[in-house]
Structure 1
Amino acid sequence: MKKRTIEIMDTTLRDGEQTSGVSFSASEKLTLAKLLLDELKVDRIEVASARVSEGEFQSVAQITSWAEEKGYLDRVEVLTFVDGGSSIEWMIKAGARVQNLLTKGSMNHLTHQLKKTPEQHFSEIAAVVAQAEKNGISTNVYLEDWSNGMRNSPDYVYSFIDYLTTLPIKRLLLPDTLGILTPSETYSFLYEIRKKYPQLHIDFHGHNDYDLSVANVMEALRAGCDGLHLTVNGMGERAGNAPLASVVAVVNDFIPDVRINVKESSLFKVSKLVSTFTGFGIPANKPIVGDNVFTQTAGIHADGDNKKNLYFNDLLPERFGRKRKYALGKTSGKANIQKNLQELGLTLNDEELKRVTQRIIELGDKKEKVTKEDLPYIISDVLDSNTYQQRVFVRSYVLTHSKGLKPSTTVSVEIDGDSHEENAQGDGQFDAFMNALRKVYSSRKMELPTLTDYAVRIPPGSNSDSLCETIITWEHDGREFKTRGLDSDQTVSAIKATEKMLNIF
C-alpha cells in the first residue's frame, strides 16, 4: 500500500503557551525548538504570536538564527494578524519567514468581533499576503472558528476559500477553535473541502474540549487532510489541543496509508522536559507519557505476561523509550513480586515469597504505595522476623503529642501470654513509649538494653514516602546488636524495631 506523508506541525511554543499560567523563557523556547526539530523530527513548529512582547521577539530571533544555520528556517512559523502589515514588519526584524495569518472563519466572528463585511476582510487579507510575498515571507492562513463557520455559515466559508485560492498562499489551516466538532462532523466538513479544493494543502487543528481531539484527528486524516497541528502533553487553552504522543501512536498503529516523520522513542523525553519547564505535571494515567500507562498492577496480569505476554498490546513501552513496570500492592500477587525480584537480581524460596507477598498486601490495605526500591527493605524486615521465636507482642499503644505538653504513651504488651499496660511521658513519642516499656519490665524485675544509636532511612531511589526503615543499635552486658523496623510511619517503624529487640533480648 502506498503511504502518503502527513506533516506534523507542533504548536506547543505558541498555542500550548496559551495554557493558563504557562510562559516559556527565551532559552526554554530555543531548547524546545531544537528538540522538536532535531530530536523529535516534527516537520514544522509554530513558535510565537507576532507583536506580543519584547521577550517573545527575542525568543523568535534566537530560534530563527539557529534555524537559519541548520537550514530549518522554512519550518519555523509565527502567528500573525491582519493589522496593516505590523506583523510582517515584526517578522522581518525577528528573522522569520513563514506566517500563519489569523483570519475569521465564521460569519459570527467576522460580524461581531471585526464588525466588517466579507469583502472588507478579504481585501485586507490580500494586502497582507502581498506585503509578505514582497518581503520573501510565505503565508499559511488560519480560518479561526472554522468549525462553527461550517455549521452555521458554510456559504461564507466556501466563498472565503474560493477567494484564498486566488492568493499566493501555501497552506489552509482549519481549526476547531472551540473544540466543538464530533468525529462525524470533522470527517464530513473536511471531506467536502478536500473534494472541492483538491489542489490545496489542508491542515487540521483540533482542540480537546469534549475529549474528542484524537478521534477528530483520525477522521481528519480519513477525509484526506495533509497536516496536523499538535502540542506536547496536549497543552493549550481551556482543555488543550490534540496531544502529540497519542496522535503519533494512533497514526502509526491504526492508519495504514499514512506515514509521519516523528520519532516515537523521543516522545517521552520531550514530554518530561515540557512538564519541567511549565510546572504542569503529566497525569499518571495520560496515554503514552503518563507514569502509570505501562504499569501492571493486578497479579493476574503479571502472571499472564509470564505466560506468553497475554496482557501486552501493540503499545510496547520500548517504542517510547520506556520500560514496563509491575506495581506492588494488595492486588499484585506473587507474579508481580517475582517480576520485580528479577529486575533486582534477587531470589526467594516459596515460603519467603509467601511471607513477602503477605507483607506487601498488608501495606496495600493501608493504601500505601510500594515501589521496587522498597522491596529489599521489605525482604530484610520479613526474613529478619523469622530468625527468632516471638514471645513478646506489642499489642496496642496510644501516642499523643500536644503543643505545650509532654508527649505521652499508653502501651499494652503481652509477654509469655501475660498482658501488661503502662503509661509514661517522655521528650518525644518514642521516648515516652520506651519509658512506658521500662515500667512494664521493671514490674517483672528486668532491665532493658540501652539504646546507643537510632537511624532512619528511606529506600534510595524510591519515589514514594510509603516506607521508612528504622535501625536501632542496642547494648547489653557489653554486647551490641541491631534491630530493624519497617513502616510508613517513622515512630511505628521504631516500635517494630523495639518489638524485635524484646524478643531477641
Structure 2
Amino acid sequence: MKASQQVELFDTTLRDGAQTAGIAFSVEDKMRIANRLAEFGMDWIEGGWPGASPKDDLFFAQMKNRNWPNSRLVAFGSTARPGHAASKDRGLNNLVESGADAACIFGKSWDIHATKALGITLEQNLELVSESVAYLKQRLDYVMFDAEHFFDGYRASPDYAIKVLKAAADGGADALVLCDTNGGSVPSYLFDVVREVVARFPDKIIGIHAHNDSELAVSNTISAVQAGARHVQGTVNGIGERCGNANLISVIPILKLKLGIDCDVSDVELQQLSSLSRFVNEMANRLPWQHQPFVGQNAFAHKGGIHVSAIRKQSSLYEHIDPALVGNEQRVMVSDQAGRSNILSKLQLLEPEAGLAADDPVVAEAVTRIKELEAAGYAFEGADASFQLLLRRAMGRFRRHFELVRFRVYDEKRGHHDMPEAEATVQVRVGGKLVHSAALGNGPVNAMDKALRAALVDVYPGLSAMQLSDFKVRVLSTKQATEAMVRVLIESSDGHRKWSTVGVSTDVLEAAYRALNDAIEYKLVMDQVPPPDEQDRQSSS
C-alpha cells in the first residue's frame, strides 16, 4: 500500500459491478480489468466471491501470481451460515484459501433482516458477526466488515446497528463499512449517522458503500467522507445491481480536485481516469455515456456561440475544471446555434498558423454554409469528419480524390420468404481514368460501400483497411411519410481511428452515398494521400 493516504479506495467493479443487468465478465475480462485497476493504483480490488461460481474460483486461481506493487486483492463473502461454526463454514474457508490479500464479509445490521431473513435471534446474529470476523482475522492480515443495510437498520434501531459494528470490531475487523444497500438514504441523514459512528469507533477505519437507487450514491459517498469516513467503496462508471453503485470515476476527482482530500491518486494517475472509464466500458460491452461527468465525450463540449466565445478567452468561464486533469478534452460543437466563435475555434485547430480572425471571410463563409446545411437537415455534432471537410473546402484546402460518374443499386427479392439480394455498380473518374466496379452486399448500402471502395482501392490501397462500423438512418419529418428527408450517419474505422460522416437527402441511397463519399475522402485526407494529379506530378519530378 502507498503511504500517507487519508482516504483509501476500494473498487468492487468485478463483484458488485458484475451484478449489473446485461453485463457478463469472462474470467479473462476480470483479469484484464483487475490488472488495469492495479496499474491505476487502486488500493483495494475486490475480485469476487470465492466458491460462489466456477468463474470466480478460476479468477482467484489465475490471480495468485499477480505482481501488484500498490494494490491488494480482496475476496468477498458473508458471515458464517446460521448453525455452523465459523471454523467449519465452507464460505469462510473459501476466503482463506483464495489467495487474496484480504477479505470483506457482510453481515446483517438491520434487526428485521436478522430475525426475518436469517430466522435467528438478534444475539445469535451478533455472535455470527464476531466469530466470523475473528476466524478470518486469525488467518488473514486484513479483514473488512460490510454492515449490510446499516442506514436503514440505524433508522429502525440505532442501538442494535451499533452493537453489530461493535461485534465486528471486537472480532478484530480492521475496517467497518457502512452500507446504504437499498440506496434510499439522503446526504444530510447519512452525514449525521457517519459522524456518530466515527465518534463511537475512533480507532477503526470507517467506510462507506453507497448504492444509487435515489441517484445520490456519489453525493452520499462525499458526505460520508466529509463526516470522517476514510474508506470508499464503489465501481468504475457506477455499474452495479439495480441502479448501480457510487461511481469512483466521479468520486475520485471530487475528492482530489474539489475538496483537496488525499485519496492517494497522483496527478498522472488522475489523467488516466478517462481511459480507465473507456476500458471498463469496452470490457463490459457497453456504449460509453457521452454525458458522463468528468470523462464523457460531452463533459466539456460547448455548443452555444456565447459559451464558445467565452471559453476562447478563458476556459474556466464555462468549465469547472481543466479537462486535461482527468484525461479528457474540450470540444466545440457545431449546429444551427453556432456562431463565429465555434467555427473560428475549429478552423484554428485545423490551421493554427493561419492567424484567422472572427471577421475573416473564410469564417463568414463557413458559418453561412453550415447554417444552410443544418437548415436542410444536416447535423454536424455527430459527424465531425464531414464538418472538417466542410471547413477545408471553405479554406480552399480541399481537392477531391475522385469524381462520381454514376452509381446504380439493385435490390431484388424473389418470393415472400427469401432474403433480398443487393448489387451495386459504380463508375468513378480518378484523375483522367474511368473505373467501373460492381459488388454484392448485405443490403444496398453495404453493396454500394463495397463497390465504391473496390473502384478506388487500386489507386488508394489504404482504403482496404477501412470499414463501416455503424450506420444510422433518421427520418427528419414524419409528416411527409416516405417522401421525407432522411439523415444518414456513418461511423467508419481503419482499425486505428474512428470517424463519423453525414449525408441528407429525400433518397436514402443518395444520403448514404454522401456520407460514404465524405468517409472515404476523410480517410485519404487524414492519411495525407495526394489527389491523383498531384501523384502524377510527384512521380514525374
- Once the two structures are TM-superposed, the CA of residue 468 in structure 1 deviates from its matched residue by 9.0
Contact 1:45 1:77 in 2 (8 A): yes
Q: Report the RMSD for the aligned CA atoms in angstroms.
A: 3.4
Letter in 2 for 1:226: R
The runs of at least 4 aligned residues of structure 1 exceeding 4 Å deviation read 346-349, 380-384, 399-405, 427-431, 450-462, 491-494
Report the counterpart of residue 308 of structure 2 in structure 1.
Answer: 302
Alpha-carbon shift at residue 403 of structure 1 (Å): 6.6
Q: Which range moves more in the overlay, 147-156 or 92-101?
A: 92-101
1:378 aligns with 2:390: yes
State the distance in 1 between where 2:391 and 2:314 align: 28
Matched residues, percent identical? 25
Residue in 1 aligned with 2:108?
104
The 5-angstrom pairing of residues 66-465 of structure 1 reads 66=66, 69-70=67-68, 75-83=72-80, 84=86, 85-136=89-140, 138-256=142-260, 258-262=261-265, 263-309=269-315, 311-345=317-351, 347=354, 350-365=360-375, 366=377, 368-370=379-381, 371-379=383-391, 463-465=499-501
CA contact (8 A) 1:64 1:76 kept: no
Query: What is the aligned partner in structure 2 of residue 42 from structure 1?
Result: 42
1:374·1:462 contact (CA, 8 Å) conserved in 2? no
How many corresponding residue pairs? 421
The structure whose RCO (Cα within 8 Å, separation 6+) is larger is: 1
Please report how far the alpha carbon of residue 367 of structure 1 lies from its aligned counterpart in structure 2 after TM superposition.
Answer: 5.2
SS at match of 1:209: coil
> Does residue 20 in structure 1 map to residue 24 in structure 2?
no
Partners of 1:81 and 1:493 in 2: how far apart? 56
Change (3 A) 1:363 1:154: farther
Report if aligned partners of 1:102, 1:143 keep a CA contact under 8 Å in 2: yes
Q: Larger deviation: 205-214 or 129-138?
A: 129-138
C-alpha contact (below 8 Å) 1:264/1:320 kept by paired residues = yes
**Distance in 1 of aligned mates of 2:164 and 2:411:** 73
Cα distance in 1 for residues equivalent to 2:425 and 2:342:
37
Residue deviations 1:199-230 (CA, integer Å, cap 9, x gap): 22110011111111121122111211111112
Partners of 2:256 and 2:95 in 1: CA distance: 35
Decide which of 510, 513, 535 is 1:490's aligned counterpart: 513
* Bigger Cα displacement from structure 2, 55-64 vs 355-364: 355-364
Q: Secondary structure at the match of 1:463?
A: strand
Q: State the one-letter code of the partner of 2:127.
A: S
Q: TM-score, normalised by structure 2?
A: 0.70
SS of 1:276's equivalent?
helix
Residue 163 of structure 1, CA deviation = 2.5
Q: Offset of 1:13 from its aligned partner?
A: 1.0
CA, structure 1 residues 142+430, in 2 after alignment: closer, same or farther (shift >3 Å)?
Answer: same
Q: Is the 8 A contact 2:77 2:106 kept in 1?
A: yes
- Cα offset for 1:105? 1.3
Shift of 1:309: 3.2
Q: Indicate how the Cα distance of structure 1 residues 72 and 322 shifts in structure 2: closer, same or farther if over 3 A, else same.
A: closer
Gaps of 5+ in 1: 388-398, 406-426, 432-449, 470-486, 495-505
Displacement after TM superposition at 1:50 (Å): 2.5
Q: 1:4, 1:55 → 2: CA distance?
A: 33
Return the TM-score normalized by structure 1. 0.75
Aligned mates of 1:50, 1:191 — CA distance in 2: 33
| C-alpha distance in structure 2 between counterparts of 1:361 and 1:246, whole Å | 36
Structure 1 letter corresponding to 2:142: S
- Three-state SS of the structure 1 residue aligned to 2:271 is helix
In structure 2, C-alpha distance between the alignment counterparts of 1:255 and 1:9, rounded to whole Å: 19
Contact kept in structure 2, 1:287 and 1:293, CA below 8 Å? yes
Change (3 A) 1:113 1:367: farther
The answer on whether the counterparts of 1:468 and 1:493 sit within 8 Å (CA) in structure 2 is no
For the residues of structure 2 that align with 1:71 and 1:244, how far apart are their CA atoms?
Answer: 21
Q: Is the 8 A contact 2:347 2:391 kept in 1?
A: no
- Report the Cα distance in structure 1 between the residues aligned to 2:333 and 2:165, rounded to whole angstroms: 54
Which digits, 9 at most, give the CA deviation of each residue in 1:8-63, with x for residues without a partner? 111111111111121222222222222212x3222111110121112211112222
Report if aligned partners of 1:330, 1:364 keep a CA contact under 8 Å in 2: yes
Task: Give the superposition deviation at 1:239.
Answer: 1.0
Mark the runs of 5 or more structure 2 residues left unpaired by the alignment: 81-85, 400-407, 415-422, 428-432, 438-451, 454-462, 464-489, 518-541
2:65 aligned partner: 65
Aligned partner of residue 343 in structure 1, secondary structure: helix
Cα distance, 1:283 vs structure 2: 1.4
Q: Is the 8 A contact 2:133 2:145 kept in 1?
A: no
- Provide the residue aligned with 1:412 in structure 2: none
Q: Contact 2:76–2:95 at 8 Å: present in 1 too?
A: no
Deviation at 1:240, TM superposition (A): 0.6
Cα offset, 1:188, TM superposition = 0.8
- How many angstroms does 1:195 deviate by? 1.4
Q: Does structure 1 retain, via aligned residues, the 8 Å contact 2:503–2:512?
A: yes
TM-fit CA distance, 1:453: 6.3
Query: How far apart in 1 are the matches of 2:54 and 2:40?
Result: 28
